[in-house]
Amino acid sequence: MRRSNTTSARIHALASKTKTMTTRFYRRTASVLLAAALAFNCAASFAYAYSAPNESDLDNHQTYRNHDGETVHSPAHSRSGEAPDGATARCRDGTWSFSRHRSGTCSRHGGVAAWR
What does pTM read for this prediction? 0.59
Res 31: pLDDT: 80
Res 48: pLDDT: 63
- d(C-alpha 111, C-alpha 115), whole Å: 11
Res 22: pLDDT: 78
Segments of the chain scoring below 50 in pLDDT: 44-45
- d(C-alpha 105, C-alpha 67), whole Å: 12
Res 18: pLDDT: 78
Other CB atoms within a 10 A radius of the CB of residue 41 amount to 9
Q: How far apart are the first and last CA of the chain?
A: 78
Closest among 47, 53, 50 to 85, alpha carbons compared? 53
CA–CA distances in Å: residue 113 to residues 24, 37, 88: 48, 31, 11
- d(C-alpha 48, C-alpha 114), whole Å: 15
Res 101: pLDDT: 92
Q: Is 84 exposed, middle or buried (0-12, 13-18, 19+ CB in 10 A)?
A: buried
